[in-house]
Amino acid sequence: MAPFRFLEEVALADAAFEATGDTLSDLFEAAAQAVIETLVNPVTITPTCRKTIERRAPDLPSLLFDWLSDIVYLKDAEGLLFKDATVAVQPDQSDGSWVLRATLAGEPIDPTRHELRADVKAVTKHLFEVRQDGRCWVARVVLDI
């Protein structure tokens, strides 16, 4: 399971988390898992469909912000919740931008089977951070509930 922990002291009325990863791809998977688990207990999700996401951004914080926002968007726009994500993050040497290719595995929302949690309104920029701590990547994210 990808490592993340919720930060209680950061957002009283909302949900904040810190995700970590040995690689950027791991970090982006862990952060996605935190968003997924804010919305639903993933144990109750049986993946019946896959969504492929491709994103490009000028910097890592923007790429992570857009990626996590995609999960929130798909929940409302396509009525999908996910069990987990597989992510590859790479730099584009030609222009210095960052590229994400990801697959989300999930299924349409079914309140009779899914253990639903909190409806995330948005990924916020409050205290939003992506940093390298030694050999580990760390991200801090606050979600508006």
Partner 1 sequence: MKLSTTMTVNRISDEVWEIPVSEKPGMVVPARIYATEQILTSMDSGVFEQVTNVACLPGIRRYALCMPDGHWGYGFPIGGVAAFDQREGVISPGGVGYDINCGMRLIRTNLTVEDVKPRLEPLMTELFRKVPAGVGSTGFVRVNRQEFEEVMRKGARWCVARGYGWQQDLERIEEHGCIPDADPSKISDQAVKRGINQLGTLGSGNHYLEVQVASQERIFDRETAAKLGITGHDQIVVMVHCGSRGFGHQVASDYLKVFEKAMKRYGISVKDQQLACAPFRSPEGQDYFAAMNCAANSAFANRQVITHQIREAFSSVFSHPAEALGMEIVYDVAHNIAKVERYEEGDLVVHRKGSTRAFGPNRPELPDCYKETGQPVICGGSMETGSYLLVGTDRAMHETFGSTMHGSGRTMSRAQAKRSVRGEQLKKDMAQRGIIVKAVSMSGLAEEAGFAYKNIADVVETVDRAGITRKVAELRPIGNIKG
User: Is 118 one of the binding residues for partner 1 (CB under 8 A)?
Assistant: yes
Least distance in Å: CB of 100 to partner 1? 17
User: Is 54 one of the binding residues for partner 1 (CB under 8 A)?
Assistant: no
SS3 for 12? coil
Write down the residue that tokens 């309140």 correspond to: 111
Q: Estimate the crossing angle of helix 60-77 against helix 24-39, to 10 degrees.
A: 30
Q: Report which secondary-structure segment, H or E, holds 136.
A: strand 136-144
Binds partner 1 by CB under 8 A, chosen from 115, 129, 131, 132: 115
Say how far residue 97 (Cα) sits from the centre of its chain: 20
- Contact footprint for partner 1 (CB under 8 A): 6, 8-9, 11-15, 39-40, 69, 72-73, 75-77, 79, 81, 109, 111, 115-119, 121-126, 128, 142, 144-145
